[in-house]
Amino acid sequence: MKRLLKGLAGVAGAVALAVGGTASADKEPIKFALLQDFTAVYTFVTSEYNQGQQDYLRLINETGGVEWHPIETIIRDTANEPQRGLEAYNRARREGAVLVDFFSTPVSRAAVNRVLRDEVVMITALHGRGDASHGETFPFVFPMMATYWSQATLLADYIDRHQGGLANKRIALVHIDSPFGREPLPVLQELAQQKGFQLRSFGYPSPGTEQSATWSDVRRYRPDHVIIWGAGGGQQVSVREAIRNGIRPENILSVVWLSETDARNVGGNHMNGVKRFEAVAFGQEPAVIQDILTHVIEPGLGAGPAANVGSSYYNIGVATMAVAVEAARLAIGEFGAPLTGDKLRRGFEMIEGFDARGLMPPVTITATDHQGGGYGRVSQWNGQTWEPLTHWTNAFQDIVWYEIEKDARGFRDGR
Amino acid sequence: MFYRLSGIHHTRYESARALWPVTADRRIILGLLLLALAAPFLLSDLYLTSYMLPWLIWTAAALSLTLLMGIAGQLHFGFAAVMAIGAYTSIHLTRAGVPFELALLGAGLMAALIGCLFGAAALRVKGLYLVMATLAMQYLVEWTIINVPAISGGAQATLSTPDVTFLFVPLQSDGALYYTALLWTVVVTLLIMNIKRSSFGRALVAVRDKDFAASVIGVNPLKYKLLAFFASSFLGGVTGAVLAFCYYQAVTPEQFGFNVSIQLVAMVLVGGLGSVIGAYLGAGFVLLLPIVLTNLLAFVAQFDLIPISFNLLSHIPLMVYGALIIGVILFEPLGLAKIYDNIRKYFLVWPFRHTQS
């Protein structure tokens, strides 16, 4: 029965491809598994992120595929539950997926040992373990964008260079009380020693819808700058509470998870001046997004509402797939088809100075550095859009790599 | 008819009190056990590692909880925390060089100790108030794990399980992991069935039904409530360790969050409070049904019959799942176990209609 169903599914897939008439159906497909959380915790980002990924892959398929190989996606909901993620992963692996993207920290943490054993590439852009940047320890895991440590050092560097220096300042880190919220602490503590500023961390309980007690503590501390570190609904609460407690919006800096939706929810022009770390450019101007508009959205092939195209999280999704497709292209060019997990890994490690035509900072991934340099920039909400304040840059990578190596060593010893 | 009673007469108490006095039941159990033993040879690795293995382990967890909630009547909404204590204790013990067999014991004892501490609240409060006390346990344990890096494993808050052997077999292959989990689940199953027919079990039931009445007939509620918490937390702790070593192979605090506690309570309730077969059915329902529904829908969706967005598509299983839970509870408030019981009773006297009990 199972075999029969599978056969039917195969026939149906073939028919759909033939009828759909994609330009690139003449070589065997490359399978990417996007097994993400559409229904539980990450819903604030997943739908836009996944839409960006699908639209970009559609664009690739519409314009000839990867060296004439079309890309097929396996998309499943995991509800942020490790056991469902692992089931979906095992299934996708059997169907021949060479790349997985869980976009969920608990699931990708549970999957690390398995992808290393099965030789399947796992991308963990802006989630998962920061120490996976250590390529020798985690050969099949690719954070491929700035880790949370690099984001924290970049924000501190911005204060140092553009907001009057770090020395003798009081910096408050207001974070969700979870491993994710505590992640920037070690690098900021190290920086506080080097640069001579005071740092205090203030945790608020998950999920962050109620933070007023924390922020009265923050007010008493009289910080010069506040770094907010949360995700989802808690972020707009943080911004609102910060402003209510007399902190000027210019002095609020955020981790990457702050979007135009949060600005709308904070309301009015209250959020004008708030700054965030940005890993990928915002808006519809980048050339890739323009191509998606012409080839995918206008013919009506988009995977979701056209209004999302160019939003912060949509563009992050596009960027992840742009890097993955570039890696697949390099791997097929160098090692030939069919693409395997190991070939794709080596493809990733050949990426050099790739910026997806201006969508993202130039990324160079090597066998040792899977973070790609830790580049990003600081942008500011001006009421309409996120206005970049700096060029693409990175900061204090020595401190970041000290942490990466320390944790990667712990992972090796723990086995 | 199918569960034939003719020819079964008991001349001794031992035979009347046997676990399965009816021949047909024994045959079914034997058949299921043989199937379970042969599963690694019958099923592909996908179904073995992604369906059977987690199902067995979650069944053991649901059985541990049903001892407390179903048999002893003490509500517990923080059972995932109990399992977390077991998982973290076993990992830290094996990392310190303790053999895995002893680490399992240590996991159980540590969970039982801390479980009893919070269970002590049960001596004073009942019902919804006990729910609050156990909820406090859930959050306190989670908070402690997250905030003490020595427990959670530093900034990444992930601990990989070290390579261990269980009864001289290295826990590496899918088969070894599966048989370890199967062994533990069978042990827990037999234990709970035996508790139910022993004086200990009857004392727990007496406390559940009315604790002061139990006290009048000479059952000390204080002692038995604490014993129930101790036994259940011990089993839960070992199950947590088995879950960590045989299934996740890396533990993080999120794996034992509040939603997991709620899932465990749902398994026990949907399966049928205090029922052993209910724990199996409930764990299957809560754990596997969402996966099956998701895959079923993804299969239907690839025919492109109706154009719906993926976002909606991924929410449909939730709607169906919710409707099914309400359906089960409306159709049979005593849970899936009672549905099986009704079917069994129907066939007991088939083709006649009326059953005695």
Residues of chain B in contact with residue A114, where contact means CB-CB under 8 angstroms, are: 249
The yes-or-no verdict on residue B267 having pLDDT over 70 is yes
Range of A252's domain?
A: 148-278+378-398
In angstroms, what separates the C-alpha of A47 from chain B's closest C-alpha?
Answer: 7
Q: Which of A33, A135, A144 is nearest to A372 (CA)?
A: A144
> Which of B152, B294, B299 minimises the CB distance to A9?
B299
Whether the CB of A295 is below 8 Å from some CB of chain B: the reply is: no
- The answer to whether residues A392 and A269 belong to one domain is yes
Whether the CB of B163 is below 8 Å from some CB of chain A: the reply is: yes
The yes-or-no verdict on residue A43 having pLDDT over 90 is no
The yes-or-no verdict on residue A330 having pLDDT over 90 is yes
A77/B160 Cβ within 8 A = no
- Please tell me the distance from the alpha carbon of residue A68 to that of residue A27, in angstroms, as a whole number: 6
- Please tell me the distance from the alpha carbon of residue A355 to that of residue A279, in angstroms, as a whole number: 11
Count CB neighbours of B336 within 10 A. Answer: 21
B302/A9 Cβ within 8 A = yes
Tally of residues, chain B: 357
- Confidence tier at A214 by pLDDT (50, 70, 90): very high
What pLDDT is attached to residue B146? 85
3-state secondary structure of A33: strand
Three-class SS of B111-144? HHHHHHHHHHHHHCCCCHHHHHHHHHHHHHHHHH
pLDDT digits (tens, 9 = 90+) for A44-77: 899 999 999 999 999 999 999 999 999 999 999 9
The yes-or-no verdict on residue B138 having pLDDT over 50 is yes
3-state secondary structure of B168: coil
> For residue B46, what are the CA distances in angstroms to A88, A95, B188?
10, 11, 25
B261 phi/psi in degrees, rounded to 5: -60, -45
A75 phi/psi in degrees, rounded to 5: -115, 125
The yes-or-no verdict on residue A41 having pLDDT over 60 is yes
Q: Residue range A402-410: average pLDDT?
A: 91
Interface of B with A in 36-75 (CB under 8 A): 44-46, 49-51, 54
What pLDDT is attached to residue A13? 42
- The answer to whether residues A382 and A250 belong to one domain is yes
N-term to C-term CA, chain B: 16
H or E element, residue A377: strand A377-381
Residue B327: burial class (beta carbons within 10 Å; 0-12, 13-18, 19+): exposed
Q: Are B315 and A39 in contact (CB under 8 A)?
A: yes
A16/B302 Cβ within 8 A = yes
- The answer to whether residues A158 and A168 belong to one domain is yes
A359 assigned to some structural domain: yes
The yes-or-no verdict on residue B268 having pLDDT over 60 is yes
B304/A16 Cβ within 8 A = yes
Q: Are A20 and A60 in contact (CB under 8 A)?
A: no
The yes-or-no verdict on residue A9 having pLDDT over 50 is no
In angstroms, what separates the C-alpha of A270 from chain B's closest C-alpha?
Answer: 31
Residue B2 makes CB contacts below 8 A (sequence gap 6+) with B24, B347, B348, B350
In angstroms, what separates the C-alpha of B323 from chain A's closest C-alpha?
Answer: 17
Residue % of chain A over a pLDDT of 90 = 79
The yes-or-no verdict on residue A3 having pLDDT over 70 is no
- The answer to whether residues A183 and A315 belong to one domain is no
Whether cis (ω within 30° of 0) applies to the bond prior to A338 is: yes
What pLDDT is attached to residue B2? 76
Q: Residue range A109-135: average pLDDT?
A: 92
- Confidence tier at B339 by pLDDT (50, 70, 90): very high
3-state secondary structure of B74: coil
What pLDDT is attached to residue A129? 86
Q: Residue range A136-157: average pLDDT?
A: 95
- Confidence tier at A121 by pLDDT (50, 70, 90): very high
What's A132's DSSP letter? G
Q: Name A277's bridge partners.
A: A378
Residue % of chain B over a pLDDT of 90 = 63
Count CB neighbours of B331 within 10 A. Answer: 9
A13-22, A139-148, A312-321: range with lowest mean pLDDT:
A13-22
What pLDDT is attached to residue B312? 81
- The answer to whether residues A176 and A245 belong to one domain is yes
- Please tell me the distance from the alpha carbon of residue A36 to that of residue A124, in angstroms, as a whole number: 12
Q: How many domains does chain A have?
A: 2
Q: Residue range A241-266: average pLDDT?
A: 94
A412 assigned to some structural domain: no
Structure token pair of residue A312: 């912060």
**Mutate: best of A11, A19, A83, partner B, most B CBs <10 A:** A83
Interface of B with A in 142-161 (CB under 8 A): 143, 146-147, 152-160
- Please tell me the distance from the alpha carbon of residue B174 to that of residue A397, in angstroms, as a whole number: 41
- The answer to whether residues A37 and A126 belong to one domain is yes
CB pairs under 8 A between A and B: 118
What pLDDT is attached to residue A130? 87
User: Can you spell out the DSSP letters for A271-334?
Assistant: TTT-EEEESS--SS-SHHHHHHIIIIITTT--SS-GGGTT-HHHHHHHHHHHHHHHHHHHHHHH
A172 assigned to some structural domain: yes
Number of helices (H), then strands (E), in chain A: 14, 12
Q: Residue range A151-164: average pLDDT?
A: 95
- The answer to whether residues A171 and A140 belong to one domain is no
Provide the H-helix boundaries in chain B. Answer: 13-16, 23-42, 45-47, 53-66, 79-95, 100-119, 128-147, 149-152, 174-196, 199-209, 211-216, 221-242, 258-271, 276-283, 289-301, 310-331, 336-349
3-state secondary structure of A165: coil
Per the prediction, chain B carries an average pLDDT of 91
- The answer to whether residues A245 and A391 belong to one domain is yes
Residue corresponding to tokens 């602490």: A185
Q: Residue range B325-353: average pLDDT?
A: 88
Residues of chain B in contact with residue A308, where contact means CB-CB under 8 angstroms, are: none
What pLDDT is attached to residue B297? 87
A10 assigned to some structural domain: no
> Which of B287, B304, B314 minimises the CB distance to A39?
B314
In angstroms, what separates the C-alpha of B352 from chain A's closest C-alpha?
Answer: 36
**Mutate: best of B151, B286, B311, partner A, most A CBs <10 A:** B311
B92-101, B123-132, B275-284: range with lowest mean pLDDT:
B123-132
- The answer to whether residues A256 and A296 belong to one domain is no
Q: Are A321 and A57 in contact (CB under 8 A)?
A: yes
The yes-or-no verdict on residue B357 having pLDDT over 60 is no
A131 → chain B, closest CA residue: B156
A414 assigned to some structural domain: no
What pLDDT is attached to residue B356? 60
B254/A105 Cβ within 8 A = yes
Structure token pair of residue B45: 């690795």
In angstroms, what separates the C-alpha of A85 from chain B's closest C-alpha?
Answer: 10
- The answer to whether residues A330 and A394 belong to one domain is no
Q: Which of A348, A296, A294 is nearest to A322 (CA)?
A: A348
Residue A208: give its domain's CATH number: 3.40.50.2300
A88 assigned to some structural domain: yes
A201 phi/psi in degrees, rounded to 5: -105, 140
- Confidence tier at B355 by pLDDT (50, 70, 90): low
A123 assigned to some structural domain: yes
- The answer to whether residues A299 and A391 belong to one domain is no
- The answer to whether residues A47 and A137 belong to one domain is yes
Per the prediction, chain A carries an average pLDDT of 90
Q: Is the ipTM of this complex over 0.90?
A: no
Q: Which of A152, A167, A165, A88 is nearest to A120 (CA)?
A: A88
